[in-house]
Structures are given as structure tokens and as C-alpha cells.
Structure 1
Amino acid sequence: MGDHLTLLLLSLPLLVNGIRFQEYLYFQVLSPGDIRYIFTATPAKDFGGVFSQRYDQIHLVPADPPEACGELNNGVFIQGQIALVERGGCSFQSKTRVIQENGGRAVIIADNASDNDSVYVEMIQDNAEGATYIPALFLLGRDGYMIQRSLEQHGLPWAIISIPVNVSSIPTFELKQPPWTFW
């Protein structure tokens, strides 16, 4: 019960005095080890689903092509996993639909500005046809770039992650955040 309540609370918007604050969801890269950090992402505002369970070890598979605006060359590897997609080329909702159609459990869309280490983009629906029900998250460009770069350096087709991570249950001294990002 506690884990499900935590997941629900992590996915709800935070309103204080009528002002909407940015909501965050956290995931941890387990492998490759050089990027074994806890990353921050923001859920789509008004489309996609929420995480109804925690995945302790699931593949984070970079989409091919990276923008995931049409047919994927590696859709078979995304089935049952989480896709890492690059921003650009089509709407956030269209990307989410492509990953959903390929059997992905969720999509993490990294900003295409690899130097972006602080500005989150609010992902909204585009009223295109077809519902999207898998979770869609926005990731800072620097984080996406560093994950992709590490995979390329190690010759790996995917990372292994845990998602979502309840950072309030982790002792502060164990919170390994990316050294290039400030929380």
C-alpha cells in the first residue's frame, strides 16, 4: 500500500495557494556504472499515463531513429521496456504514441539541446488522433546526452534503470545525483 500511495503522490500536481508547482519523477540508472545517478524528469501535463508500479530493473532503450516520429528500426527492443527519445521532428504526444504502438511501457523524451541542464519543458497534448496511456516524461538535454554518450562509449544498446524512485526514502548521503545538475 505504501509504495502505491507514494507513486500516486509523485504523479499528482502540487498546488499551493492556487499556484501550480513543477512536479518531478525520479529514476536511477543502474548500468552503465559511470552514469549511476538519480535523474529528475517531469511528467506530461495532460496526456499519457502514470506509473502504477515500480520497475526495479528495466531497459532504457534509445529509439532508432532518435526522434521516434515514425517507424522504428529497433521497435522489437522497445517492447516491454522504456524508450529514450530525442525532442524534435514531431509532437511529444506523437512520440509517445509511436512508443506505445511498439509496446513500450513508458517514454522519456530528452531535450534536443544537449547543453540544457536546468529548463524543463511542459509537454502538452496536440489533439492528434489516438489516445496515449503510457507515461511520458521530459528529461533535461544534458542528462539525455550524458546517458546516450555513456551507452555509445561502452557499446551498449540500452541502460538498466529503476523507475520511479522515491528520493524521500533514500538517505541524503546515498543520493547520487549527476555532478552536472543542481537539484
Structure 2
Amino acid sequence: ATEVRDLDFLSSTFGGMLPGAGSYVGDVPVPQLEVVVSDPLEACGPLLNMDKVKGKAVVVKRGGGCTFGDKAVNVQDAGGRMVIVVDNTPSALQNIAASSEQSTNLVIPAVMVTQLAGDWLIKEASSSLAKAQPITLKLDPANEVAYRWMELATVQWPDDEIQRRILSRRLKEANRGAPDRLDWLDMMEAGAGVQVGGEKEESGVKSEL
């Protein structure tokens, strides 16, 4: 049986409209995008698998010393239809941005998914089964997803384990039915927030690395 999984995503501040923003255009169904993994994975240079990414949703990993804009430019130059950026830390989802110069030239959109969801996507899209039955993507934007992640990104996690558990339980109740957010809350409950460079990561729009 075909596995269907819902993934939360937040869109970029650059690029065109997300493909397949609705299930139909008039009476014509919007085709689902095939998902492929970038080579190299962090897409900080020209893609080596250009023959496979043309017209598809290309999964790239955050990091590698380049910006989100650099990654999107490299995917666009290779003929990709859109970019799916996988976070490389268990941080809350946030919108991603590019420099003003890159934004002017970028026509493909990008989205970011959580580290857990993205690692699953990379594994599935790279599997031998995916070669026989490609992974496809249908995008259904929802304003509530952005609102919920914005709320989670600003949570101040207490150091006390019991207090974290109480806070996590309340937030899980507000995010029932959203696997990515529940998984993220499990991680936050187990720790004390995401530490980046010795400080808790600030919320906002991500543009670098």
C-alpha cells in the first residue's frame, strides 16, 4: 500500500507560488511533484544530478557553509521546480529568506521542514523502493501551521524537568493531530530548548546557513 504522510512546512519569502497550491485548477487536477534528493545534499555548489532534478521538488540539507538563497539558486540552475530545505537542528520551523539580489532572480519557491520529517523524507526518497515508485508531494498551505510554529518558536522552556513536562503537555493538546509538532515537543520536553552557539536560538526569519 502507498504510504501517505503529512509534513508541516513553512514557505520561503522568495520565489514564485508553491506548485499545486490547490488540488484543482478549474476542473483539472494539479499533478503531484516527484521528490528527489540533491547531490550534493547541502547543494552549496552546482548539482551533480541535474538529469534527475529537472521539474521536480529537490530536497537539500541546511548547512554546508552556504545560505538558503545559494541552495535555491543552485537548484534553480539545475532545473528544479522547488526546494525542500531540511533543518539540521531540532529547532522550531521558521520562514527562510535569501538576499535581495538573489530574491530578484529566484523564481522557484522553497519550503523548510523539520529535521525529523526531513530526514525521513531523505531516507524514503533515496531508497531503492523510491526508484520503482517515486515519492510524490502535494502541497496544501495552511495559515494555522505558520501560526502554530511561530507560537512554538517563542516558547521559553524551563530548566526544571517537571515544569517542561507540564508545558509540553499543554502545547501538545493545542497541536493534536500534527505529528511534526508533537515529535518536536517530545524533543523539547527531553531537553531545555535548542542550544545554538551556547545560546537559545532566537525566532525570526532565517537567511543564513
Please say if residues 56 and 163 of structure 1, whose CA atoms lie closer than 8 Å, have aligned partners that are also in contact. no
> Identity of counterpart residues, as a percentage?
25
Q: Quote the offset at 1:137 in angstroms.
A: 0.6
Query: If each structure's strand is expressed as a fraction of its own residues, which one has the higher value?
Result: 1
Taking the aligned partners of 1:86 and 1:140, their CA distance within structure 2 comes to: 11
Which residue number corresponds to residue 107 of structure 1? Answer: 83
Q: Which has the higher contact order (CA 8 A, sep 6+)?
A: 1
Which residue number corresponds to residue 60 of structure 1? Answer: 35
Which residue number corresponds to residue 138 of structure 1? Answer: 112
**Alignment deviations for residues 27-60 of structure 1 (CA, whole Å, 9 cap, x no partner):** xxx95x2xx2111111112x22212545432211
Which residue number corresponds to residue 71 of structure 1? Answer: 46
Which residue number corresponds to residue 93 of structure 2? Answer: 120
Query: If each structure's helix is expressed as a fraction of its own residues, which one has the higher value?
Result: 2
Q: Quote the offset at 1:61 in angstroms.
A: 0.6
Taking the aligned partners of 2:8 and 2:31, their CA distance within structure 1 comes to: 16
Please say if residues 51 and 164 of structure 1, whose CA atoms lie closer than 8 Å, have aligned partners that are also in contact. no
Taking the aligned partners of 1:123 and 1:180, their CA distance within structure 2 comes to: 18
Matches within 5 A, 1:34-45: 36-45=4-13
SS across alignment from 2:122: helix
**Alignment deviations for residues 99-128 of structure 1 (CA, whole Å, 9 cap, x no partner):** 111111111101012xx2x60133122245
**Greater C-alpha radius of gyration:** 2
For 1:182, the aligned partner's letter is L
Task: Please point out which of 37, 61, 71 is paired with 1:86.
Answer: 61
Q: Count how many residue pairs are aligned between Structure 1 and Structure 2.
A: 139
Q: Quote the offset at 1:155 in angstroms.
A: 4.8
Q: Quote the offset at 1:80 in angstroms.
A: 0.8
1:107/1:152 Cα in 2 relative to 1: closer, same or farther (>3 Å)? closer
Task: Please point out which of 150, 157, 168 is paired with 2:124.
Answer: 150
Matches within 5 A, 1:153-164: 153-157=127-131, 158-164=134-140
Taking the aligned partners of 1:52 and 1:151, their CA distance within structure 2 comes to: 19
For 2:97, the aligned partner's letter is I
Is 1:96 aligned to residue 69 of structure 2? no
For 1:51, the aligned partner's letter is L
For 2:114, the aligned partner's letter is L
1:37/1:67 Cα in 2 relative to 1: closer, same or farther (>3 Å)? same
1:163/1:98 Cα in 2 relative to 1: closer, same or farther (>3 Å)? same
For 1:56, the aligned partner's letter is P
For 1:104, the aligned partner's letter is G
